[in-house]
Amino acid sequence: MTASPQPVPPQPSAGIFGRPPEVGEPAPFFTAATTNVDRYSLDAAAGRWIVLMVFGTLSSSASVQALDLALRRRDLFNDTDAAFFGVTVDAADRQRGLIDSEPGVRFFWDLDRTVCRRLGLANDSHLHPGLFLIDPMFRIAMAEPIEAIDLVLDRLQQELAAPVVQTAPVLILPRILEPELCATLIDYYVRGEPTASGFATEVDGQTVTRLNPTLKRRRDVTIEDPALVEAVRSRLELRLFPMIQRALGWRATRIERYLIACYSAEDQGFFFPHRDDATAGTAHRKFAVTLNLNTEDYAGGDLRFPEFGQATYRAPTGGAAVFACGLLHEATPVTQGVRYAVVPFLYDEAGEALRQANLGRVGA
């Protein structure tokens, strides 16, 4: 019998405790409609500075003045270094001319005040406008009233002038798969029947898989040969698991999927910034593993962690890159050649209990 579905553990957020997040705390994750996108996840914009202004309605002169002051310094917001997001709860603001201005300026239409409550700025009867400066690691750097917009933008300008160099918490380990096994796995892929690779997303409370070549271009082959599965499994357990426990203080007990992924320069194969544990069907995942099979044979195709800067990471052939599934990450486009990699997820017995509990929330 399938266990009764239980809530997915909440993502980090101070706002869920009924108060606005404070300086140094993680900013709350939320998804809401913008002018051009039905479901825009603010946390996917991490990796740049974010000014988040909850002004509520343009029927307020204070809101109009604060927004005007922000847009006078429109040049700060280019989407690469910084972005501005406003939050309105008033549908009539459309008639008042409120509209996205890309790149860099967008507005959330929070007509049911879900976002405002998430940020600890609203209850059923009152809305308290607020202003947040969020750093590239998606942490609160400033929390002010909207009237302090110039103060916040001055701070943003200072931060952009002196960026801090960050190193992502990724573990790179060589010598997990021997060269002969890497070659065998590539041959297995070539002789297989690759299929377009999708990604998990939430739709009406269900985790579903979607294909979208503007967000991900990759083709996969599942390893079904028992001997080859066992070869990969044994090397992960004997060579990778002990190092994860030593370096990260966590013991893996389960492996999810034996999959060979292929990114090709033919279609500039890539995977947009995402988190691997952000849905009910993926919440059990603890660490992601990328085992490169032919590192010397392609250009591009590296790992990048936007919350920790623009540096890229690449394991050698047969080596592994290991990182927490909650980290925002991307696979940069392959610009030359073809990249092959084995890409499992690791979890433990607590994760298995969560996976079982969430089975009722996994769709097709």
Please check the confidence at residue 180 and state whether its pLDDT lies above 70. Answer: yes
Q: In the prediction, which pLDDT does 6 show?
A: 37
Please check the confidence at residue 126 and state whether its pLDDT lies above 90. Answer: no
> How confident is the prediction for the chain on average, in pLDDT?
91
Place 228 in a pLDDT band, splitting at 50, 70 and 90. Answer: very high
Nearest to 260 by CA among 297, 227, 228: 228
Q: In the prediction, which pLDDT does 7 show?
A: 39
Q: What's the rounded mean pLDDT across residues 241-247?
A: 93
Q: Are strands 298-300 and 140-144 parallel, antiparallel or unpaired?
A: unpaired
Q: In the prediction, which pLDDT does 364 show?
A: 64
Q: In the prediction, which pLDDT does 189 show?
A: 98
Please provide the DSSP assignment of 176-211 as one string: SS-HHHHHHHHHHHHHS--EE--EEEEETTEEEEE-
Q: What's the rounded mean pLDDT across residues 224-253?
A: 95
Q: What are 261-314's pLDDT values in tens digits?
A: 999 999 999 999 999 999 999 999 999 999 999 999 999 999 999 999 889 999
Q: What are 150-179's pLDDT values in tens digits?
A: 999 999 999 999 877 788 999 999 999 999
pTM: 0.78
* Distance of alpha carbon 200 from alpha carbon 207, whole angstroms: 6
Place 2 in a pLDDT band, splitting at 50, 70 and 90. Answer: very low
Q: In the prediction, which pLDDT does 156 show?
A: 96
Q: What are 288-299's pLDDT values in tens digits?
A: 999 999 999 999
Q: What's the rounded mean pLDDT across residues 88-102?
A: 92
Place 13 in a pLDDT band, splitting at 50, 70 and 90. Answer: very low
Nearest to 20 by CA among 54, 49, 45: 54
Provide the b/e sequence for 84-102 (b: ≥16 CB within 10 Å): bbbbbbbeebeeeebebee
Please check the confidence at residue 132 and state whether its pLDDT lies above 70. Answer: yes
Domains of the chain with bracketed CATH: 15-161 (3.40.30.10), 171-361 (2.60.120.620)
Q: What are 201-216's pLDDT values in tens digits?
A: 888 888 999 999 999 9
For residue 103, is the peptide bond before it cis, meaning its omega torsion is within 30 degrees of 0? yes
Q: In the prediction, which pLDDT does 315 show?
A: 95
Q: In the prediction, which pLDDT does 38 show?
A: 86
Dihedral sign computed on CA atoms, order 116, 122, 125, 126: negative
Place 250 in a pLDDT band, splitting at 50, 70 and 90. Answer: very high
